[in-house]
């Protein structure tokens, strides 16, 4: 069990800073999820921890020891590859035994530990099979057992659920999380699926273009996103562009809204579930007349897209509880409103990219 | 229904015809090897096994067979080992001049055999003149020439089989504590088995049947089988060579069957 500390890590390919000055810490037994859009450098960061990517500068410490110059086989990390990377010419048991054999563990102990590891992932009956003769979910469990059996200091997972079908993903994810907690493994987990990250992680690290944008617990990131990018990436957020003015915020469409005033930030964000419709707007600070553009009934919620008087479009989620179903038709005019404390003024880190 | 049947029949007969076309020379040779006549004539006056006996009385053919087999085994062994090393460099590492080296290794495929033979002959004479050691006096000269022929095939087949390998499997081995060499030997090499067997088979056959490169490089009394055969038909027109070929076909067929037990050949080619 160990602590992972990454300091000022940089990886460049040519002029391209794929990982750009990243600082990251995973405490003993903590599961940290690296989350971000495709190409933001998650895999590169994970592979540099494992030692497959020579880093350009910075340091990687496991339990206070700088491992950044060590060969992959000297780092004692346990990695689960996205495609599992099982050894096709070996049986399941031989796959799991491989790391122990490399560590020159005595035969009798290898047998015991392999049996235990296979039991942990409920694959005891499949020990003699070749990986090819297993389902995707079973292969994934072999990969997990193979990585865990050597007691790695750091457990690394690159989108371990992405090759599973949607139904399995949830349950396998929960099992992985339970295993990680039971064994107290320091874990870094890469995904671009926010649901996976929310479900499994102690702490989320949101990455973008090689940098960490924000990190924290799921609640913290969802409720207090630091920037427009985070608000939009984690869940959906309605973003109104404009300028902060005396005592409020004026949208580009010309509506003046009350808000906490600040100098720097430039966009106002409201989550769809914080948009109140019709009678619910009674007594809230902001109320506008909007036109209904689309209505989608999604069972527990109804999603409506609304056109505000300033020309902005927002999405509202209405919770369908018995007795308060919402009857909306396209073209209706409806009152929409929100409390000022449900809005956030955020740094606009999206416009320069767009 | 009827139309589907007709088209299936047509397709089936086309396949049969194609196979016949490919196999006809083999069948023809085998048939001729049983003719009981001094000169090839048709229809044969009768059938006999004596040409098979005659094959084993021709010392030139027997020693040619042994020489060819020795050269082919050595040339394919050396070819396969260098093929593995070259592929490893070409597939795994980025280095300046990689493309140039690749083309260079594949080049002998494009140069006519007789040109390679002549060039080597001249080269060997120069070596003999300046060092006193003549490569054509032993099998060394011939083996070197045949390695040139087998390397392009080995590199091709082995690099292809290595290129199709997913590198993350080797990385998994490194991650589990294997050093670079162990990861290669325990994980990557076994997965290249099919490519290696294919390369060895191709190399063996190419070396074994080669005539035009060898013809200038052999010394009297130590010729290869194809050359011995060529010399035999200069003076004889009997079906002995047909019988020799039949034996050769049987031997190579047996080799293929044996290797198929280790690697399914259908996966290889
Ligand atoms: N060997 C390489 N040479 C050059 N550029 C590379 C190399 N490997 C990765 N990159 C670049 O680095 C960037 C980050 O890649 P990386 O695989 O880390 O992204 P990712 O966040 O894992 O994306 P995804 O979610 O799609 O897996 C990409 O722009 C990619 O093109
Ligand atoms: Mg990735």
Of B94 and B229, the one with more pLDDT: B229
Angle of CA points A181, A183, A187, to nearest 5° = 65
The model's pLDDT over B118-154, given as tens digits with 9 standing for 90+, comes to 999 899 989 889 988 888 778 888 999 999 989 988 9
Q: Which is it for the CA torsion A95, A96, A100, A105, positive or negative?
A: negative
Residue A335 CA to residue A338 CA, distance in Å, equals: 10
User: Residues near A278 by Cβ (< 8 Å), separated by ≥ 6?
Assistant: A326, A334, A335
Ligand 1 binding site (Cβ under 6 Å of any ligand atom): A 13, 18, 36, 38-44, 192
pLDDT of residue A264: 65
Residue A189 CA to residue A145 CA, distance in Å, equals: 16
CB–CB of A113/A105 below 8 Å?
yes
Q: Which is it for the CA torsion A184, A185, A188, A193, positive or negative?
A: negative
CB environment B86-100: b (16+ within 10 A), e (fewer)? bbbebbeeeeeeeee
Record the pTM. 0.79
Summarize the confidence of residues A103-117 as an average pLDDT: 94
The share of chain B scoring above pLDDT 70, in percent, equals 97
Ordered DSSP codes for A254-322: S-EEE----SS--EEEE-GGG-EEGGGGTT-SEEEEEEEEEEEE-SSEEEEEEE-TTS-EEEEEEE--T
pLDDT of residue A63: 92
What domains can be seen in chain B, in order of their start residue?
29-36+45-267 (1.10.3720.10)
Q: Which residues pair with B182 in a beta bridge?
A: none
pLDDT of residue B192: 86
The model's pLDDT over A15-27, given as tens digits with 9 standing for 90+, comes to 999 999 999 999 9
Q: What is the ipTM of this complex?
A: 0.84
Structure tokens at B99: 């493309």
Q: Which residues pair with A190 in a beta bridge?
A: A34, A158
Q: Is residue A211 exposed (0-12), middle (13-18) or buried (19+ Cβ within 10 Å)?
A: middle
B206 in helix, strand or coil?
helix
H or E, element range at A137: helix A136-148
Interface of B with A in 142-201 (CB under 8 A): 166, 168-169, 171-180, 182-183, 186-187, 190-191
Residue A88 with chain B: CB contacts under 8 Å: 169, 191
pLDDT of residue B87: 87
Structure tokens at A203: 């702490």
Say whether A99 and B177 touch across the interface (CB within 8 A).
yes
Dist. CA A156 → ligand 2 center (Å): 13
Nearest to B77 by CA among B176, B175, B150: B150
How confident is the prediction for chain A on average, in pLDDT?
90
From the alpha carbon of A13, which atom of ligand 1 is closest?
Answer: 4
Of A78 and B216, the one with more pLDDT: A78
Residue B179 with chain A: CB contacts under 8 Å: 71, 73
Measure CB to CB from residue B175 to each of A50, A82, A103 and give the nearest one: A50
Residue A127 CA to residue A146 CA, distance in Å, equals: 12
Structure tokens at A230: 């985070």
């Amino acid at each position: 069990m160990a602590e992972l500390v990454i300091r000022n890590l940089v990886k460049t390919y040519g002029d391209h800073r794929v990982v750009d000055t990243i600082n990251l810490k995973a405490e003993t037994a903590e599961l940290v999820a690296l989350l971000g859009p495709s190409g933001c450098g998650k895999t590169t960061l994970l592979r540099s921890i494992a030692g497959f990517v020579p880093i350009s500068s910075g340091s990687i410490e496991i339990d206070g020891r700088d491992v950044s110059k060590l060969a992959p086989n000297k780092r004692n990390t346990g990695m689960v590859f996205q495609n599992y990377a099982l050894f096709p010419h070996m049986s399941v048991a031989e796959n799991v035994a491989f790391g122990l054999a490399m560590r020159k563990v005595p035969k009798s102990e290898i047998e015991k530990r392999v049996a235990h590891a296979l039991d942990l992932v409920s694959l005891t009956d499949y020990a003699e099979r070749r990986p090819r003769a297993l389902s995707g979910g079973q292969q994934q469990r072999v990969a997990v057992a193979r990585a865990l059996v050597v007691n790695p200091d750091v457990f690394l997972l690159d989108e371990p659920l992405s090759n599973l079908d949607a139904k399995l993903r949830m349950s396998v994810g929960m099992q992985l999380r339970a295993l990680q907690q039971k064994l107290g493994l320091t874990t870094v987990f890469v995904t671009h699926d926010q649901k996976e990250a929310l479900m499994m992680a102690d702490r989320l690290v949101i990455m973008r273009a090689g940098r960490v944008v924000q990190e924290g617990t799921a609640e913290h990131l969802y409720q207090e996103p630091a920037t427009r990018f985070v608000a939009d990436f984690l869940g959906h957020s309605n973003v109104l562009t404009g300028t902060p003015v005396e005592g409020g915020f004026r949208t580009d469409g010309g509506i003046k809204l009350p808000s906490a005033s600040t100098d720097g930030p430039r966009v106002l964000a409201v989550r769809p579930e914080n948009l109140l419709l019709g009678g619910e707007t009674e007594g809230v600070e902001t109320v506008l007349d909007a036109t209904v553009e689309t209505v989608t009934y999604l069972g527990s919620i109804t999603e409506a897209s609304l056109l505000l008087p300033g020309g902005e479009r927002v999405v509202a989620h209405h919770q369908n509880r018995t007795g308060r179903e919402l009857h909306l038709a396209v073209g209706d005019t409806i009152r929409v409103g929100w409390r000022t404390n449900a809005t956030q003024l955020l740094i606009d880190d999206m416009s320069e990219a767009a | 229904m009827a139309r589907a049947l007709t088209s299936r029949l047509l397709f089936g007969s086309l396949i049969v015809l194609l196979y016949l076309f490919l196999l006809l020379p083999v069948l023809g040779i085998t048939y001729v090897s049983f003719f009981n006549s001094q000169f090839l004539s048709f229809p044969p006056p009768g059938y006999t096994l004596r040409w098979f006996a005659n094959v084993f009385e021709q010392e030139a053919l027997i020693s040619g067979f042994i020489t060819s087999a020795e050269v082919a085994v050595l040339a394919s062994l050396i070819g396969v080992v260098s093929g593995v090393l070259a592929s490893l460099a070409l597939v795994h590492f980025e280095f300046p001049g990689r493309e140039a080296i690749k083309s260079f290794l594949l080049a002998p495929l494009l140069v006519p055999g007789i040109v390679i033979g002549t060039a080597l002959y001249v080269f060997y004479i120069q070596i003999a003149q300046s060092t006193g050691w003549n490569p054509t006096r032993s099998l060394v000269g011939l083996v070197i020439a045949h390695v040139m022929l087998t390397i392009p095939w080995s590199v091709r087949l082995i690099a292809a089989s290595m290129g199709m390998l997913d590198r993350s499997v080797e990385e998994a081995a490194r991650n589990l504590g294997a050093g670079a060499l162990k990861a290669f030997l325990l994980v990557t090499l076994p997965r290249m088995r099919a490519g290696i067997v294919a390369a060895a088979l191709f190399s063996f056959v190419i070396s074994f049947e080669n005539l035009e490169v060898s013809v200038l490089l052999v010394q009297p009394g130590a010729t290869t089988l194809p050359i011995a055969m060529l010399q035999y038909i200069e003076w004889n027109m009997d079906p002995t060579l047909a019988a020799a070929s039949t034996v050769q076909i049987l031997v190579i067929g047996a080799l293929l069957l044996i290797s198929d037990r280790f690697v399914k050949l259908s996966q290889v080619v």
